[in-house]
Amino acid sequence: MNDTKSLTRNRMHIFSDFDGTITELDTLVFMSKTLGGGPQMVEAIGRLIREGRITLRDGIAAEMRSIRASWDDAVALLREHVRIDAAFPPFAAWCRDEKIPLTILSAGFRNVIELFLAHDDYRHVDIRANRLIPDTGSGWQCRFRDRTEFGHDKAAAIREAQRRGQYAVFIGDGLSDRAPAEVADEVFAKHSLAEYCASKGILCHEYTTFSDVHAELQLRLTAGKTL
């Protein structure tokens, strides 16, 4: 973290993960378990990723390939079972009102994110994610944003903002959030990302919901506090 710059609305850019951070459930895990290869496959692929034997990108591709359901069936299930953090809508509205850029950086899929954030309340939110091509014949296909091991280099977006002189705040929870947490000026972390930050000596705020993030950033902006 940079401890010499003052925190102002004009310089802040907020980046957030989506699955497990804005949503309560991880939509990729949920779809793989309910529509694809099931819990055992998800566990097996997760183990291979954790052991470094396959990349997250290849693991996600394999999980999606195991799904042959129609997109409409998936949408019905997602809408029924996945909720976004109740504190996220007011947080997003606060960013809009304060003119603080809010970018979602996801190793998941734009098609899914737009199910939850497509309406007018989120017109100001920049969504960067991979694309899913549902295929009931040969299994769902992924179109990744880049060739990195995560399929989407989230840290690159943070570095780009910092090159423009912005103060990058990152909010996340999981594996694909490690690289951006390492470069962000300030990190909010929960679950395995909080454990990772602790193990690497990366200073972070541990949060439970967006109300924690909102309260912390709002307080400091209001006070004009120097970081």
**Which residues contact Mg ion by CB under 5 A?**
17, 19-20, 173-174
Would you say 12 or 104 has its CB closer to Mg ion?
A: 104
Question: Which secondary-structure segment (H or E) carries 223?
Answer: helix 210-223
Would you say 85 or 135 has its CB closer to Mg ion?
A: 85
CB of 193 to Mg ion, least distance (A): 8
Beta strands in the chain (DSSP E): 12-16, 102-109, 126-133, 141-143, 167-172, 186-189, 205-206
At residue 6, φ and ψ (nearest 5 deg) are: -80, 150
CB of 34 to Mg ion, least distance (A): 18
Would you say 151 or 174 has its CB closer to Mg ion?
A: 174
CB of 219 to Mg ion, least distance (A): 25
Report whether 155 contacts 183 (CB < 8 A).
Answer: yes
Please give the structure tokens belonging to residue 57: 């990108």
Q: Which residue has the tokens 């060739």?
A: 147
CB of 210 to Mg ion, least distance (A): 14
Would you say 200 or 225 has its CB closer to Mg ion?
A: 200
Report whether 218 contacts 192 (CB < 8 A).
Answer: no
